[in-house]
Amino acid sequence: MAVQPRTSNNASAHVVRTIPVVLNGRALEPNRGMSLNLDWIDQVRVNTSAVERRAATYPARRSVKKENQAAWLLRAIACIDLTTLSGDDTADRVRRLCAKARNPIERHIVEGLGIEELHLTTGAVCVYHAFIETAVKALEGSGIPVAAVSTGFPAGLSPLTERIAEVKRSVEAGASEIDIVIKRAHVFNGDWQALYDEIATFKAACGKAHLKAILGTGDLMTLRNVARASWVAMMAGADFIKTSTGKEAVNATLPVSITMVRCIREYAERTGMAVGFKPAGGIRTAKQSTDWLAMMKDELGRPWLEPSLFRIGASGLLNDIERQLEHHLTGRYSAGYRHPVA
């Protein structure tokens, strides 16, 4: 697997590499949304036991080693939304996180792997609204986008007018990606029109910024609910659908992820439009990141291994990936504290 997450003429001018987005021989367009089709929602069925059996095969059968493992891990880094969403966040912590996003692995590892020309960075930095301007300034010239959680994160229960205003304020502050939270009650009530209208309103408030719709899958009870919410979010114009806030008791899992990416695949087949996917919460090890990458490649194909269509929302994952890459070079595991993130 070739590792070329970014191309650039110099170290200060990163440009996200793009490849044609094609599924089953059909070129796809970015998602622009469509009218709500309730017939499609009613027809959604999920064979839970089959999905769980499929999910169990990834940790069991996928084991990449040596140079191939290093390549997959570098790809994972390029797709990380490096995140800090703690109650004790500070501007200094965010600046340190941004410095790590610019240089996600230590210099001696970069030189040992011979990847200096890649100018590898993470896919984005994700913060609360209060730290958007700090992150934008710290990332200036890097090409790394700033994502902001919004709409009453993590519960999504603020009044609608406040949630819309929050989106607009985050865009004005410089966020180029907005991670919105859906109101889960719409799913439980089967009120798909209300869910569609809400997400479409947030999408309009985003303007040119990309919208990632967080479904809060750990709260949705069934895979059928997950699939139905995924379809509504895509119809409403979401650029990405995202599993979790990272604050639920259960966050990203492989069965939920398979369900969501199969909705993405069928949506692309029906509409000719591509939607990205972001698992978030609970992905902490390098091995887990390769499981998700393998799942994306198997279910959707090579274009969904680019940060334009795949992100992993994580805070501690990068630490373990860096340790694994150092082990690849030296044959020894270093202590985690030697690779701090923020």
CB burial of residue 120 (10 Å; 0-12, 13-18, 19+): buried
| Active-site residue (options: 179, 239, 291, 320) | 179
Task: State which amino acid sits at residue 294.
Answer: A
- The tokens describing 18, both together, are 């793009």
**If you search the block for the tokens 């939607």, which residue do you land on?**
275
C-alpha 94/C-alpha 300 separation (Å) is 33
Gap between the Cα atoms of 151 and 178, Å rounded: 9
Known catalytic residue: 278?
Answer: yes
Nearest-angstrom CA–CA distance, 196 and 52: 28
Name 46's Cβ contacts closer than 8 Å, sequence gap at least 6: 222, 223, 224, 226, 227, 259
In this structure, the number of other CB atoms found within 10 A of the CB of residue 245 comes to 24
For the chain, strand residue ranges (E) read 6-7, 15-16, 22-23, 26-27, 29-30, 80-83, 124-127, 146-149, 177-181, 210-214, 240-242, 273-274, 276-278, 312-314
Report yes or no: 54 and 258 within 8 Å, Cβ to Cβ. yes
Q: Of 100, 183, 203, 278, which is the active-site residue? A: 278
Name the catalytic one among 100, 183, 212, 242.
242
Q: What is the DSSP letter of 335?
A: P
Q: Which residues pair with residue 80 across a beta bridge?
A: 312
Q: Which of 210, 226, 209 is nearest to 218 (CA)?
A: 226
* Closest by Cα among 39, 59, 22, 2 to 288: 59
> CB–CB of 118/97 below 8 Å?
no
Q: Catalytic residue at 191?
A: no
Q: Which residues are the active-site residues? A: 179, 242, 278
